[in-house]
Structure 1
Amino acid sequence: MKKIALLGLAVSATLVASLVGSRVTPAQSSSMPVAPVSSIVPVSPVCKSSAAPIDQSTILDNPLGVNVGVVSGCGVGSRGPGGGIVFYDAGELKWWGRYLEAVVLPAQANTTWSSPAKSQTSLYTGDAATVQRQRVDAKAIGMGRINTELIVQQSGPGVYAAVRAANYRKNGLDDWFLPSKDELNALYDFKALSYGKLTFPDLAEGTFWSSTEAWKNIAWYQIFNDGTQFSDSYILASKGGNKGRTSNIQYPGTSYPGRQYQVVAVRAFPQGTGEVPPTSFPKLTGNSCTNQGPCAVGDIGPAGGVVFYDAGSPKPWGRYLEVSPKSAEVIGWPWRKPGYDYQADLVYPFGGTSARLSRVKSKAIGMGAKNTRAIVMAYGSGRYAAKHAFDYEVNGYLDWFLPSADELDLMYNVLYAVEEPLSPFAPTYYWSSSEYDLKNAWTVLFRSGQRFDREGWFTAKDTGKPNAMRVRPIRAFGSTVDDSMNDRAPVTK
């Protein structure tokens, strides 16, 4: 088989035959389907997979406004060309395509990530800095197909997760793959946001493999009971890893049991616009940028921090994200104001389904400022994580906030998981502004990039301990920032 050098590895030519054209910027993670929850409806007739003219009679008459794309006539919640449910719409054609559809494969015992013979072998070779960035890039939406090809190429025949996904066939289509970490998370978000509107029962309690490698013997997986994504790297890396395991471990102090790993097959469509992005190497540029931009990742931002995200175009929340200087970081502050009743003092006062959906939405990029405002409105003055971010001021800028879970994940991927971090962080837990439930909030462990729910009502570990919770404010800027998200009216509750 002819090989093409890609991502520093040998990859089959068949994989990239449709990926032609100019190189584009590195893939950026996204964990929310484009369509809002009000747009998700019961499965529609099969949508088109090509750019041919759309027969409108084949599209569901949809009073709720499913996002019907001009590329393929599909929307989140529709039935895809391969018979799966469309769970993600990038909004426009990307290098990998635009839509993702998924099919949950029948549960099968003893499903490892790779073949047992290769469970201790990394997919990647080269210097440590390059391998680290390849693993980070492999998380992104669009990378599942590449990851799957690498796994199958390395492991060969078998009944492991990647080959099961790659061998799936439906409606004559053979381009299925095991989803990347971010693709799998987008599927979880779709499932969670479609609550009460669309049933996806096979996803309810499952633990699913992603195709993203975290370490040489470790891979990412996701628990669909609550959306937690783990790699188990700091527990299992020295104990043989998890690639050769058939079920996840039960974490100390949790009630969620270990479960057999399952497989969901995903495919992207229509054909993409270009080649796989080159390996990303974020670094400080030495340049400064203004509040109006343009800015690049690695620039010194208007407030003196480091720009770590560019959405590519203006969004309601802005376009760029800037992390505060190290001096803004505090240690050992709880997420929730001490002494408040978790059953009475609610960030999402409507409760029930409304609160459940709000918590899922709160994880997304662009939600940090809104989350922070909601927390401060609920708890008022005091010593807690969101209030520190809300009150922070430097160089005349007052619009800081506690990052959402996805924003915090970006901070880890771009600022810390590099050979020379772009900003100083500790290898411990950092708070996000995304609430997990009435008693917990999401954190990111900067040792490994894993996302955990953690108790937020008590002192967040002693400040002198290695695992003390930390707070690092960020800000958004760009021409279309919604100032209501950053309203700094005095809070006296």
Structure 2
Amino acid sequence: MKKLLALGLTISASLSVSVMGSRGRPAESMSLPVCASSTSPSIPGPLVNNGPNGNGLSVCGVGARGPGGGTIVYDAGELKWWGRYIEFRRVTAVAGVPWAPRGSTEMPIYEGDAASVQRLRVDAKAVGMGATNTRAIVAKYGPGRYAASIVDDFRAGGYDDWFLPSKDELNLVYNYLAMTQHPDQVPDGPAWSSTEAWKNIAWYQLFEDGTQFSDSYILASKGGNKGRPINIKYPGTSFPSRSYQMYAVRAFPKGTGEVPPVSLPALTGNTCTNQGPCVVGDIGPAGGVVFYDASTTKSWGRYLEVSPKSAEVIGWPWRKPGYDYQADLIYTQDGDFARLARVKSKAIGMGAANTSAIVKAYGPGRYAAKYAADYAVNGYDDWFLPSADELDVMYNVLYAVEEPLSPFAPTYYWSSSEYDLKNAWTVLFRSGQRFDREGWFTAKDTGKPNAMRVRPIRAFGPTVDISTRDSAGIKP
């Protein structure tokens, strides 16, 4: 429990009152979601509401056992259209099944013009979309021995409303296991998500390290990966090919069930101030484009703004040249702290803290984080290298649209999230895939189209004190 709280994995103490849906175990009107105590010593149990308005009932929070007997990995903080909490269970009875049934691997889930299909696939990555994705897959392919169908038929804890997680929901499962379990206890191998990446390609995640692949760079022209029971072995990796695993997740209590309309990010033509309000697509106060709104002010701010295209540099390494990756560490503590810090460093809101930690460790020099930290334009000098999740949002919102909101190249961009002693996370803007790359890597010559690139961002919003941002992150 102390470890989770120290790393910012909070547990909600609020009650959520709702009526369970028609699918799943019926519940009494206005009933509370009941969370049973955890039996695992490494997973904290639920909170008990004994406050002034409390009744001693267990309330749900990250780490508690959900009503279906799974472990809760996400609390949205309030009821959303899909629900509020997400619990997961591993499907252990079967493994090594494809994403799509034989004969259907070239059949896309989404149809329409290219731009609309692209946005449907981007939206299908999001938290809350797993159930919708699973229903769409089963409706398209019918019954059979494939991932979505198996999980759709899964029964556990008296509930039958389990589904195959979306790309981002699957990442919640991985992050929770990585934060709470010893590495030897996290199941190895790839796991399917319910998110389609291309007509014959689906997203999956390696649970050895959290890498999320679509294989589109390698397999799109070779039959894709939907029909494969095992994943491919990437050149340069030590991870062998393994059978695809499945995790079943369910959301509760029931939300409205009304899926939001397809997202269509576009420039608004408006300019917003440092205190807001802003919407995605506005020109930010520093002259870049606003690409993220957290809805409420966080410790790091509320909005994220990408720098203008002119800020982008090519061929800069992540690690300062000449530094020994074994002796000069970003996270100087050994053991669990460094491992857990690296998981948290990927999150939205961590880019500034990561950048500060990197610059503190390396000092002056020619490397990605230092460039971002030193960048200044239009009177603003509070830029930083985006975290892996922040960079992922940049791809989804700014680039993966019919008319990109800001120019990017279809190549690798550095994040500020450290992968291990030698590597850091990148996002490949050709496909949105996330890869680890060696810190000294410049990806061939700077004149090549696939050279490593750096694009600074900044956070802003009401009552943000830039001088205290490091307190929101993990200091080296």
Q: TM-score, normalised by structure 1?
A: 0.85
Question: Aligned pair 1:103/2:89, yes or no?
Answer: yes
Distance 1:55 1:123 in 2: 33
- 1:355 to 2:341 alignment: no
- Decide which of 306, 314, 317 is 2:300's aligned counterpart: 317
CA distance in structure 2 between the partners assigned to 1:484 and 1:173 by the alignment = 48
> Is residue 170 of structure 2 the alignment partner of residue 187 of structure 1?
no
Structure 1: unaligned runs, 5 residues or longer = 1-33, 42-46, 488-493
Map of 2:284 onto structure 1: 301
The alignment yields a C-alpha RMSD, in angstroms, of 2.7
Deviation (angstroms), 1:188: 0.5
Q: 2:448 aligns with which of 465, 468, 474?
A: 465
- Of 53-62 and 363-372, deviating more is 53-62
User: Aligned pair count?
Assistant: 446
State the AA in 1 paired with 2:173. Answer: L
Per the alignment, do residues 370 and 57 of structure 1 end up closer, same or farther by CA in structure 2, a change over 3 Å counting?
A: closer
Structure 1 match to 2:312: 329
Distance change >3 Å, CA 60–CA 123, structure 1 → 2? closer
Mapping of residues 39-58 of structure 1, within 5 Å? 52=30
Three-state SS of the structure 1 residue aligned to 2:446 is coil
> Take 2:468 and 2:412, find their aligned partners in 1: how far apart are those partners?
26
CA distance in 2, matches of 1:421, 1:83: 43
CA deviation map 1:76-102 (0-9, x unaligned): 111111111111111111110011111
Counterparts in 2 of 1:380 and 1:406: CA distance versus 1, 3 Å: same
The C-alpha deviation readout for 1:243-272, integer Å capped at 9, x for no partner, is: 011111101111111111111111100011
Question: TM-score with structure 2 length normalisation?
Answer: 0.88
Rounded Cα–Cα distance in structure 1 between residues aligned with 2:467 and 2:5: 23
What is the distance in 2 between the residues matched to 1:314 and 1:73? 25
Q: Is structure 2 residue 189 aligned with structure 1 residue 206?
A: yes
User: Quick one: distance in 2 between partners of 1:364 and 1:301?
Assistant: 22
CA distance in 1, matches of 2:390, 2:88: 25
8 A Cα contact 1:308 1:323, kept in partner: yes
Task: Tell me which residue corresponds to 1:344.
Answer: 327
Aligned to 1:148: 134
CA distance in 1, matches of 2:64, 2:310: 48
> How many percent of aligned residue pairs carry the same amino acid?
70
Q: In structure 2, the residue corresponding to 1:364 is in which secondary structure?
A: coil
Spell out, residue by residue over 1:124-171, the C-alpha distance to the aligned partner (whole angstroms, 9 max, x if none): 111111000000000000000000001111111111000111001123
- Structure 1 residue 72 displacement after superposition: 7.9
Task: Give the secondary-structure state (helix, strand or coil) at the position aligned to 1:235.
Answer: helix
**Quick one: structure 1 residues 141 and 68, their matched pair in 2 at CA, closer, same or farther if it must change by over 3 Å?**
farther
Aligned match for 1:407, one of 390, 401, 412 = 390
Aligned to 2:23: none
SS of aligned partner of 1:134:
helix
1:358-404 Cα deviation digits (max 9, x unpaired): 00000000000000000000000000000000000000000000000
What amino acid sits opposite 1:329 in the alignment? E
Counterparts of 1:100-249 in structure 2, within 5 Å, are: 100-106=86-92, 108-196=94-182, 201=185, 203-249=186-232
Task: Tell me which of 387, 401, 420 is aligned to 1:437.
Answer: 420
Cross-structure match for 1:9: none
Match of 1:89 in 2: 75
Structure 2 stretches of 5 or more lacking a match? Answer: 12-16, 21-26, 471-476
Match of 1:374 in 2: 357
**Is 2:412 the counterpart of 1:423?**
no
Over 3 Å counting, the alpha-carbon distance change for 1:485 and 1:135 in structure 2 is farther
Moved over 4 A (4+): 34-41, 47-72
1:11 aligned partner: none
1:73 to 45, 59, 80: 59
Compared CA separation, residues 38 and 285, structure 1 to 2 (3 A): closer
Q: What letter is aligned with 2:249?
A: V
Contact 2:273 2:285 in 1 (8 A): yes
SS of 1:187's equivalent?
helix
